[in-house]
């Protein structure tokens, strides 16, 4: 298993990223980023709405690794959709992170027909601003998050630069198989948020038996399983031992039969956040 995947615009992306959703700003963010980088992570997944970009940025500064060797993602929040608002929101994120450029910028959630008559235009105008920032060299790759096929198709028809990434909720028992297959077919790298099902899948009996079999933790089974499904996992932790553990996934391989068994696991349930029904 490679430590890097290649995006559709030839940019290399480290194949496990460090999630920062629900990481408190300040010392906790700074320390967890430092520990993550010491543990081997080179990919940090941030977002404006996580309210911790200053701490994440300070952690990036403090970790002592050259900027070019890190891969930093952020996301545009829902209230900022549109051309001018996207440009402004991007500048704020860059300032909060104290960076000169981002490796990847995502539309955090699609504007949908349930909320907006002009939902396609909102997504397109946001995308147009992101394409401008890409052309200026301020973003190295563009993508989306929580887009299902029916949100992606109109955007792909509009786009001059095709989305390189779609970040989806992805963990055992919630695989979004159709959307993942659509993305793979269209050369869009899928990233998985909450690869540990917010910590809840860790008690699952099948996964526990796999952990015993491979002499790994359940968290490591979930992360490795995502990778073997061509999905880039983004585990989050603020606990030093878990941060380290979650990166130790390159030294073993789950058999095809066991991958299939996990793929066929009963629905575990998701966070309940569905792009067509969220109203934030």
Alpha carbon distance 225, 99 (integer Å): 33
Please check whether residue 149 is in contact with residue 178, taking contact to mean a CB–CB distance below 8 angstroms.
yes
Which one of residues 112, 146, 166, 194 is an interface residue with ligand A2P (CB under 6 A)?
194
Which one of residues 17, 55, 163, 197 is an interface residue with ligand A2P (CB under 6 A)?
197
Number of residues that bind ligand A2P (CB under 6 A): 18
| CB contact set of 141 (below 8 Å; sequence gap of 6+) | 7, 9, 11, 13, 103, 104, 105, 134, 164, 165
Cα-based distances in Å from 190 to 15, 91, 162, 163 = 11, 26, 14, 11
Q: How far does the chain reach from its first CA to its final CA, in angstroms? A: 37
Which one of residues 199, 259, 265, 278 is an interface residue with ligand A2P (CB under 6 A)?
199
Alpha carbon distance 120, 113 (integer Å): 8
In the complex with ligand A2P, which residue's Cβ is closer, 176 or 217?
217
Which one of residues 14, 59, 235, 275 is an interface residue with ligand A2P (CB under 6 A)?
235
Does the footprint of ligand A2P cover residue 54 (CB under 6 A)? no
Does the footprint of ligand A2P cover residue 15 (CB under 6 A)? no
Q: Which stretch binds ligand A2P (CB under 6 A): 90-98, 123-131, 233-241, 261-269?
A: 233-241
Tokens representing 243 are: 């941060």
In the complex with ligand A2P, which residue's Cβ is closer, 112 or 194?
194
Catalytic residue among 4, 41, 50, 83: 50
Active site (annotated) includes residue 50? yes
How much helix, strand and coil, in percent to the nearest 5, is found in the chain?
A: 45, 15, 40
In the complex with ligand A2P, which residue's Cβ is closer, 129 or 207?
207
**Site of interaction with ligand A2P (CB under 6 A):** 19, 194-199, 202, 217, 219, 235-239, 242, 245-246
Residues acting as catalytic residues: 50
């Amino acid at each position: 298993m490679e430590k890097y995947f290649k995006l559709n615009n030839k940019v290399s992306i480290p194949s496990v990223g460090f999630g920062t959703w629900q990481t408190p700003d300040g010392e906790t963010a700074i320390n967890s980023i430092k520990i993550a980088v010491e543990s081997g992570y080179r990919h940090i997944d941030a977002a404006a709405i996580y309210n911790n970009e200053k701490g994440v940025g300070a952690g990036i500064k403090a970790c002592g690794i050259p900027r070019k060797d890190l891969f930093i993602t952020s996301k545009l929040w829902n209230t900022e959709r549109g051309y001018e608002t996207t440009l402004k929101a991007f500048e704020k994120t860059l300032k909060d992170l104290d960076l000169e450029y981002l490796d990847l910028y995502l539309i955090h959630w699609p504007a949908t027909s349930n909320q907006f008559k002009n939902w396609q235009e909102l997504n397109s105008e946001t995308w147009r601003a992101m394409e401008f920032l890409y052309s200026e060299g301020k973003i190295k790759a563009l993508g989306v998050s929580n887009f299902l096929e029916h949100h992606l198709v109109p955007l792909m028809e509009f786009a001059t630069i095709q989305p390189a990434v779609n970040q989806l909720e992805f963990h055992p028992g919630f695989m979004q198989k159709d959307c993942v297959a659509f993305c793979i077919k269209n050369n869009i790298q899928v990233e998985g948020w909450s690869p540990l099902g917010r910590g809840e899948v860790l008690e699952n009996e099948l996964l526990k038996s796999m952990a015993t079999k491979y002499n790994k933790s359940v968290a490591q089974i979930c992360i490795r399983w995502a990778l073997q499904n061509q999905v880039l996992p983004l585990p989050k932790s603020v606990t030093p031992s878990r941060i380290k553990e979650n990166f130790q996934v390159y030294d073993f391989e789950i058999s095809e039969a066991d991958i299939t068994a996990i793929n066929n696991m009963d629905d575990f349930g998701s966070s309940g956040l569905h792009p067509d029904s969220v109203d934030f």
